[in-house]
Structures are given as structure tokens and as C-alpha cells.
């Protein structure tokens, strides 16, 4: 049996938009709402270059990454072909207009993934 944590009301998430759920450990979780009031939750990280999916454009059951426009399915977290890769998804339950996420998943799921570091890459220099 899952232990569900209330996150917000469905109406707190903009239509065709998202909210971020901060976790004590690991990256944020992006919670999305589409035009049909369906709610989805993904790790806030595109599988391509780590772009913040919460800042992407929601359409249908997908979100477009704001960095390189990859289309990510919100139901499964996977990129649309020809792109490849998936971002972790989180279980969502909507009950009485409230959005709930699985508390165990929030505490344990995808903790090993890190946010990308912005800025130029540092090159290793050979010892002289």
C-alpha cells in the first residue's frame, strides 16, 4: 500500500503548465497539468542535456524541453523518436481535486541523478 503525500490542488497547477516539488535529497519533481486536467509527474530533467522540463511547453500528453525542443511523453517520461532516452516518472493520484505523489518514491526515486552544471566545460590540462 502506498503512502501518498498531498502536493497541491489541481487548480494550483496552471493549465498547460507545471509546478516544482522540492525534495530534501535529489532533484525537483515537475508536476504537469494538461488541457484535459490530467496530471503527470516527472523528474525535472530532460534525458538529453538535463534541461528543466518544468519550464517547457505542455501540449497534449507531452512536454517540450525548453533547451532543445525534445518532446517528452509525460505519461512515461520517454523522448519521442527519433530522439532517445527517458526521465524518471513519478506516480500521481488525484483525489477530491488534490494532487498526491507517492511519498516513498519522493524519498527514494532517482536520487542518483544530478542537475547539469551550467557554464563552459573545464578541460583537463596535461602536466608539463
Could you tell me the residue range of the domain that residue 68 belongs to?
4-108
The structure's pTM equals 0.89
* 82 in a structural domain: yes
* 123 in a structural domain: no
CATH number at 72 reads: 2.102.10.10
* 120 in a structural domain: no
* 125 in a structural domain: no
Where does the pLDDT of residue 115 fall: very low under 50, low under 70, confident under 90, or very high at 90 and above? confident
* 124 in a structural domain: no
pLDDT in tens, 66-105: 999 999 999 999 999 999 999 999 999 999 999 999 999 9
**12 phi and psi angles, rounded to 5 deg:** -80, -15
* 126 in a structural domain: no
* Measured CA angle at 32 (ends 1, 119), to 5 deg: 115
Tally of structural domains, the chain: 1
Amino acid at each position: 500500500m502506498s503512502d501518498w503525500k498531498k502536493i497541491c490542488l489541481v487548480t494550483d497547477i496552471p493549465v498547460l503548465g507545471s509546478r516544482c516539488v522540492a525534495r530534501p535529497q535529489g532533484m525537483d519533481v515537475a508536476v504537469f497539468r494538461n488541457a484535459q486536467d490530467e496530471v503527470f509527474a516527472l523528474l525535472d530533467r530532460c534525458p538529453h542535456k538535463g534541461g528543466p522540463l518544468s519550464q517547457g511547453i505542455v501540449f497534449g500528453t507531452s512536454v517540450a524541453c525548453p533547451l532543445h525542443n525534445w518532446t517528452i511523453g509525460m505519461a512515461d517520461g520517454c523522448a519521442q523518436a527519433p530522439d532517445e532516452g527517458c526521465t524518471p516518472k513519478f506516480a500521481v493520484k488525484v483525489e477530491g481535486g488534490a494532487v498526491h505523489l507517492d511519498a516513498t518514491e519522493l524519498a527514494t526515486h532517482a536520487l542518483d541523478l544530478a542537475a547539469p552544471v551550467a557554464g563552459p566545460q573545464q578541460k583537463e590540462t596535461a602536466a608539463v
